[in-house]
Structure formats: structure tokens, C-alpha cells
Structure 1
Amino acid sequence: MKRPLQALAASALLALPAAAAPAPAPVAEPTPIHLKYGVALIGLPIGTATVDGTVGAKDYKLSGTGKLTGIAGVLVDTKGAVTATGNLHDGRVVPSGFAATAGTPHYLLTIRMSEDKNAATQVEINPAYTQTPDRIPITPADKRGIIDPMSSFIMPVPGTGELLGPAACDRTLPLFDGGVRFDINLSFKRVQQVATPAYTGPVAVCGARYRPISGYRPDRPVNKFMIDNKDMEVWLAPVGTTRFVYPHHLAVMSMIGMVTIDATEAAVGAPAKAAAAH
């Protein structure tokens, strides 16, 4: 279950417009982002994650960390870290680099990917994924027109209209994590008000669907489950006063129950704003 869930969340820790989407208004000054998330399985806390970085007029830098906590952390001491950098051009996120590490004290997975013009130009995965006959091959075309999962965390909203309307959700995320090429299709459901320690105000509620393209094993039960999974949702909140939004809440049904990821702290744009809300 791990890979599709991580991709959606990281998604989670999600979402960018298609390459031809209209450009949002540029960001005048770099906007700082600091977010902390709690991860739960069927309501039981199992982990935490953080996202830090800046979004400027021409570029962005993001870094994230995550770890299992509570009973899950006792059973499996798992930690991870991810970074992404890139440029903002004509309302599009154009990644330049992605790196991730994840593992336990006895096993470490590292991924490094160079990107140029929304294409993966070089990928290093150590240890390499097992190449089985049933794994759908990744073609050169699959590595073009993509974004990495961490870069998809910041989401430009095209146009000049309502920030949290349908334009925030109605998009397809062409994601590639170095090993699997997949799409996340988002669709607008509604706008609703939320009041949490991290943020108080409106959010755009989006439905989500997972569609693997290559690098995956179609006969594995987890992949079949995720392809058919209609019980996935993400709530998008504003990044300061910019035309960007970020995932405030994610919910993904897994094969063992609902996984939720919720922002518990937020300093987005002017850091004092989040604290002033409560």
C-alpha cells in the first residue's frame, strides 16, 4: 500500500495544472511555507510530517520529513526525507531536481532525479527496484511532461477568478517518482469552511483518483485496489495572498482502513497569521 499512498500524499506528502494551463499572477516576494502534519490510520495517530520551503516569483525550494510514531513507530522505526527545487514559468511548476530517502535502521532507499523542462533526465535509485516480467516498462515518453511528487505540493491556480473554486481542483497531476509514472486526477466537489489550529477559513474540497501508467505491477492486489479506489479526497487551502494552494487535509482509503493526513501547524505567507488565528 505504501507507494500509492505516499505518492498521493506527498504527494501528500498534490497538484499542478496541466502544462498548457493559464498562468496565475506572479508572487512578488518569496513566500515562506512551514507546515506540520499528523498522520492517522482509522483515527489512530501513526506518524508526523513537516514541509518547509519558499515559493518566489521565479523559483521554489521545498523540503519535507516524515516518521512513524506511536505504536507504529515502535513496531517499525521508519523515517524519510525529501527535497525538490525548480522554477516557476508562465504559471507552471518546472522542477529541476528531486531527492528522497526512506528506510529503517537496517534498510535505506535513496532516489535522486534530475529534471529539465518537465522531463526526467537522469534517475538514480539505490537499491534498484526489482525488475519482474509483470512490471509495466517505463518508456522514454513516460519521463516527459512530468512533475515529481514533492514539486506537486505547491499548486498554482490558473486565471484571476475565485481561488478556491473549480479551477483549484479540476486538473490532472502527471507524476513520476523515479520508479512509477502515474496520474492523480482531481475534480472539484465543493467549498467548505474549516476551523483548525493550523488554519481557519474556506478550503476547496477535491475528489481524487489514482491511475498508474508504467513502472507498476498491474496484478498486485494493492494496485488493483488503488485503481478502483473512489474514497480519496484532498482539501486545498491558500498559500498566503498568492495564487497558490496547498493540501490542508488528505483522506485515502487503504486496504486496512482510512488514512488521513491533517495540517496541525501552519505558517504560510506571513508567519504570524497562522498563530493569530488562535
Structure 2
Amino acid sequence: MRLIALTFLSLFLISGEASASSLYLKYKLYALGLPIGAGTLSVRLNEETYSLKSSGQTAAFGRLVSDGNGTVDVQGGLTEGKLVPEAYSLNLKSEDETGTVSMQMKGGKIAKVAVNPPQDRMNERIKVTAEHLKDVLDPLTAALIPAPKGLVPDSCNKTLQLYDGKERYNVHLSYKTKRKTKTADGRFNDEVLVCRARYEPIAGHRPKRKTIQELARNESIEVWLAPVGDEPYLVPLRASIKAPFGSLVVQAEKYKLSN
């Protein structure tokens, strides 16, 4: 279930005024080619601020996935094209896990975190230190990739330093190829960047946990990044991973852009 949650929420995974660009994406989640969930991502960009909202739900799929739903919200500022998150909130309800996370951030540092219920088995986890919480992004902000040069390999080649209120980890992106694709609604029909993605646990996790070890070794993760209109940012249009039970895919079905 952890593998499902990380892929679905992290790799996806709003408010504002004046000269704003808005993007709405609706996703479907497939396991072994069967639809088992759905989600949305809303993006709003202004000259000095950004905001993101994401929601998702899954349906029971044998022993692999349970019924659940979640919402994530983030607001932040834009400084010379750089995303500077300020507030993050997560609300998750499922058969396996229910809880909330809220974070206040300032200048790329975590200022305040509230996790309910608190993490368990703290003696088994690698301790998160103050040093770990510098120059980090929340998982939802990481879904908006700065790309001042557009669909070029360098827009893929980067490391995202992430903290979700519980665990600190990196996602290493690297360029694989470029391809043309379209969404089911036909509103997006253009080129995307195809990036490899690799998960690296840093702190807050239990290093002996089998799912963490499997995810860190997994070399099949792939993300397709699409432009946000004429804005210098990219968003995930598709994410996939090969898990022990088979393939898991998050695919955008709808793409609605407005200015």
C-alpha cells in the first residue's frame, strides 16, 4: 500500500488574482490495466504566487489497495521562477491509514509541522534532523517542475529534495526521451518529456522495511511531463511503476487550461 500511496499522491502527486494561469487535470489510476482510482490536480499561477490542490480516491483491489481518499493543498510564492512553498496540508482517510499533516515553511526551510496521529516505532526510524529540513519542497509542490527552457533534457535532469511531514526523501529525475501524446479529452495533444525517476530514502523511514527497500531499488519509475500552456513549468501527465504484482499507472484523462 505504501508503494501505491507514494506513486499516486506524490507523483501526481487554488486561489489568486490578476494575470493568472489555471490548469485542471483529471487522472485515473490503473493496476494491471484495470481502473482502481481517480484524482485531480489544480494549478494556479500568478506573477508572485502559486497554489495547488489535489484530491484522489482508490477502490479496493484485492489485498493490494484499500478504499481510501485524500486531499492535499499547498500555497507559496514565486521568486524568479523558483517555487517557495509556505503552507501545506494533507488529509488522508483509508482502511490502512487515516490522519492529517500540516506544515508551515519559510525560505525553503520547515518552520512548523503537525502530524496527527504521530508516527509510531520512532526507535526504528532514521531521525529527521534540522539539517535534513533545509532547501526542501513538499510533495505537491514537486509536481510543478520549473522549466525555463521548456521541453529540453535539463528540465528532467534534477533532484527533488522532498519532505512530507514524516519522511525526508529525494526523487532523482533523469532524461529518457521525448514523445508526442494526447489526453483522452483531446485538449492536450503535444510533446512531453519522459523522465526516469528514482526514489532515495533519507530520513524518517524504517530502513529495514521491505517496501522501502523495494521502492529504493526500483528502476522502472517513469514520469511524463507536460507544459502548463506558455508558462515556464511542467506537470506530470503520466506516471508509472512496475511493482511486484504488476504495473501501476497514473494517467491524465482531462487537461483544461485557462488564462
TM-score w.r.t. the length of structure 2 is 0.91
Select the residue among 64, 71, 78 that pairs with 2:68.
78
What's 2:131 paired with? 141
User: Does 1:181 pair with 2:181?
Assistant: no
Which of the numbers 164, 171, 189 marks the counterpart of 2:151?
164
Cα 1:108/1:243, change in 2 over 3 Å:
same
Pair 1:106–1:147, CA change in 2 (3 A): closer
CA distance in 2 between counterparts of 1:105 and 1:252 reads 23
Give the distance between the partners of 1:188 and 1:53, measured in 2 at CA: 24
Residues 254 and 106 of structure 1: CA distance in aligned 2, closer, same or farther (over 3 Å): closer
The 8 Å contact of residues 239 and 269 in structure 1, kept in 2 or not, is answered as no
Aligned AA for 1:200?
A: N
The corresponding residue for 1:11 is 10
Q: How many residues align?
A: 252
2:211 matches 1:222: yes
Q: CA deviation at 1:268?
A: 2.4
Q: 250, 259, 273: which is aligned to 2:239?
A: 250
> Do 2:60 and 2:66's aligned partners in 1 also have CA atoms closer than 8 Å?
no
1:44, distance to aligned residue in structure 2 (A): 1.1
Whole-angstrom distance in 1 between the partners of 2:69 and 2:30? 16
2:225 pairs with 231, 236, 241, which one? 236
Match of 1:127 in 2: 117
Question: In the alignment, which residue of structure 1 is the partner of 2:55?
Answer: 65
CA shift for structure 1 position 42? 1.4
Residue type of the alignment partner of 2:238:
H
1:219-253 superposed Cα distances (whole Å, 9 cap, x missing partner): 11111111111001000011011111100000022
Instruction: Report the AA paired with residue 168 of structure 1.
Output: S
Contact 1:45 1:70 in 2 (8 A): no
Which 10-residue stretch deviates more, 248-257 or 110-119?
Answer: 248-257
- Higher relative contact order, structure no. (Cα contacts within 8 Å, ≥ 6 residues apart): 1
1:191 aligned residue: 178
- SS, match of residue 213 in structure 1: strand
Shift of 1:7: 3.7
> How has the CA–CA distance of structure 1 residues 56 and 195 changed in structure 2, closer, same or farther, with 3 Å as cutoff?
same
Shift of 1:103: 1.1
* RMSD, aligned CA: 2.1
Write the distance in 1 (CA, Å) between the matches of 2:67 and 2:204: 27
Q: Are the counterparts in 2 of residues 6 and 13 from structure 1 also a CA contact under 8 Å?
A: no
Q: Equivalent of 2:36, from 46, 65, 72?
A: 46
Counterparts of residues 202-221 of structure 1 (less than 5 Å): 202-221=191-210
Say if 1:12 and 1:170 are closer, same or farther in 2 by CA, change over 3 A: same
Taking the aligned partners of 1:132 and 1:122, their CA distance within structure 2 comes to 19
Letter of the structure 1 residue corresponding to residue 90 of structure 2: A
The reply to whether residue 89 of structure 1 matches residue 79 of structure 2 is yes
Distance 1:184 1:43, change over 3 A: same
Task: Say yes or no: does 1:200 pair with 2:222.
Answer: no
Question: What is the rounded CA distance, in whole Å, between the counterparts of 1:107 and 1:7 in structure 2?
Answer: 13
Rounded to whole Å, the distance in 2 between the matches of 1:195 and 1:219 is 41
Query: Relative to 1, partners in 2 of residues 1:156 and 1:106: Cα closer, same or farther, differing over 3 Å?
Result: closer
**Counterpart among 137, 140, 145 of residue 150 in structure 1:** 140
* Structure 2 unaligned regions, length at least 5: none
SS in 2 for 1:243: strand
Q: Matched residues, percent identical? A: 29
Structure in which a larger fraction of residues adopt strand = 2
